[in-house]
């Protein structure tokens, strides 16, 4: 998915968050406020340390075939809630060294980091294939929300979560997918959103990400509901930057195993033939094991999906819950057309309250992959 310029909407998010905090504070001080409702302010976050050794035979890294990488990431979350108003922010900064810095530099067209800062002493290395030290910063979310009985209004950087699949959800139009970590993450978009609920299980969802030029923005309307045990939705969208109009549908149901799927058809204004993207999958559990599998068809090529431009893609995951504190999983993503992909084997241990350890091995292959080789590493995460 293309990355959109969003400075104006990030500023709107700051203003919206300020308005949300003001409304939150007013709820706590107004004599006419609802009895028994106390506003709350929650601060939290985490520190994640990652270190790994790697073998990479792609020829793109500055350090040669064998290398070492490390990163220290600080995430800060702020959440202010009242009876009807909410303001939320999630901010992240990371210091990357060695192979981790070079990978971030090479993947900057794909990985939607807001800012990459290269120290002056690393400028020469950057021109040779990648710097050996980077500071990356990202505003994950920054929005305000107002809830009324008949509508919810959200403004700012937010995760508009229409996802069905673990990896691919073609109708999840506003979300940016980040696969740089050990698990996929969906990143927010700068948008305005109106949600009109229909009972407890349905609603009309209107979203707009106009950007600096409203005519080049992304707009959608999504109607969802629960019908005969199937959670389904219909979507209509307009992408002004790509000059396309789209219609789509998605569903999720529990038939012993959970099954899900979605598809979207996009037609350009030029009148030429349109393109179809579709994904479907299932997940089920037996005993201490959880299995998931997913297929993705991309008929729109690189213009529709920068991360997965080829038509045929597969994903599979097997997780073993060894104990209450230990999980072992194996997952793979395979681009069949480009004959590339990655295999991840991960062990995660909840070492103590608010602390987690993991060890992993990651194998990447294929000529269409920027990295090719093996990575062995460990992480330590402390939450507060």
Q: Are 298 and 277 in contact (CB under 8 A)?
A: yes
Antiparallel, parallel or unpaired: β 185-187 and 176-178: antiparallel
Question: Which tokens in the block code for residue 191?
Answer: 């948008």
Considering the domain boundaries, does residue 21 fall inside one? yes
Q: Is residue 29 part of a domain?
A: yes
Question: How confident is residue 2, by pLDDT bands cut at 50, 70 and 90?
Answer: very low
The secondary structure of 17-51, three-state, reads HHHHHHHHHHHHHCCCCCCCCCCEEEEEEEEEEEE
- Mind listing the pLDDT tens digit for each residue in 55-105? 877 655 555 578 899 999 999 999 999 989 999 999 999 999 988 888 888
pLDDT tier at 369 (50, 70, 90 boundaries)?
low
Q: For residue 312, give both structure tokens.
A: 């045929």
* Residues 279, 294: Cα–Cα separation, whole Å: 7
Is 213 within the bounds of a domain?
no
- Whether residue 168 lies inside any domain: the answer is no
Task: Please count the structural domains in the chain.
Answer: 1
* Residue 273 maps to a domain: no
pLDDT tens digits for 274-299?
Answer: 999 999 999 999 999 999 999 999 99
What span, in angstroms and rounded, lies between the C-alpha atoms of 264 and 250?
9
Residue 266 has pLDDT above 50, yes or no: yes
The pTM score is: 0.84
Q: Which residues constitute the domain of residue 50?
A: 1-143
Q: Write out the two tokens for 43.
A: 């601060």
Whether 44 is covered by a domain: the verdict is yes
Burial class (CB within 10 angstroms; exposed 0-12, middle 13-18, buried 19+) of 54? buried
Q: Is residue 172 part of a domain?
A: no
Residue 185, in any domain of the structure: no
Q: What are phi and psi of 122, to 5 degrees?
A: -105, 5
On the CB side of 112, CA atoms within 13 Å amount to 20
Q: What is the pLDDT of residue 161?
A: 87
């Amino acid at each position: 998915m293309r990355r959109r310029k969003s400075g104006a909407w990030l500023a709107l998010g700051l203003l919206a968050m300020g308005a949300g905090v003001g409304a939150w504070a007013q709820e706590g001080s107004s004599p006419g406020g609802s009895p028994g409702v106390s506003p709350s302010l929650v601060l939290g976050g985490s520190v994640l340390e990652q270190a790994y050794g790697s073998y990479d035979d792609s020829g793109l890294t500055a350090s040669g075939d064998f290398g070492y990488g490390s990163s220290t990431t600080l995430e800060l979350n702020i959440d202010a809630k009242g009876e009807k108003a909410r303001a939320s922010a999630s901010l992240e900064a990371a210091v990357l060294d060695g192979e981790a810095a070079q990978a971030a530099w090479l993947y900057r067209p794909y990985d939607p980091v807001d800012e990459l800062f290269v120290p002056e002493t690393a400028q020469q290395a950057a021109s040779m294939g990648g710097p050996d030290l980077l500071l990356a910063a990202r505003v994950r979310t920054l929005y305000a929300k107002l809830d009324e009985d008949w509508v919810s209004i959200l403004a700012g950087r937010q995760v508009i979560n229409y996802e069905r699949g673990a990896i691919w959800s073609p109708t999840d139009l506003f979300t940016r997918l980040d696969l740089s970590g050990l698990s996929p993450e969906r990143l927010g978009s700068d948008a305005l959103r109106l949600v009109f609920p229909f009972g407890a299980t349905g609603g009309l969802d209107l979203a707009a990400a106009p950007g600096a030029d409203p005519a080049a923005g992304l707009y959608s309307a999504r109607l969802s509901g629960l019908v005969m045990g199937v959670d389904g939705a219909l979507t209509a969208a307009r992408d002004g930057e790509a000059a396309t109009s789209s219609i789509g549908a998605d569903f999720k149901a529990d038939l012993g195993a959970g099954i899900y799927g979605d598809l979207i058809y996009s037609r350009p204004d030029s009148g030429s033939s349109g393109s179809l993207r579709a994904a479907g999958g299932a997940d089920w559990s037996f005993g201490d094991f959880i299995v998931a599998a997913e297929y993705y068809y991309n008929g729109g090529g690189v213009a529709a999906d920068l991360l997965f431009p080829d038509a045929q893609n597969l994903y599979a995951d097997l997780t073993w819950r060894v104990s209450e504190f230990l999980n072992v999983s194996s997952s793979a993503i395979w681009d069949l057309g480009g004959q590339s992909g990655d295999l991840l084997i991960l062990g995660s241990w909840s070492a103590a309250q608010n602390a987690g350890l993991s060890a992993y091995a990651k194998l990447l292959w294929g000529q269409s992959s920027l990295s090719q080789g093996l990575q062995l590493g460990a992480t330590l995460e402390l939450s507060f």
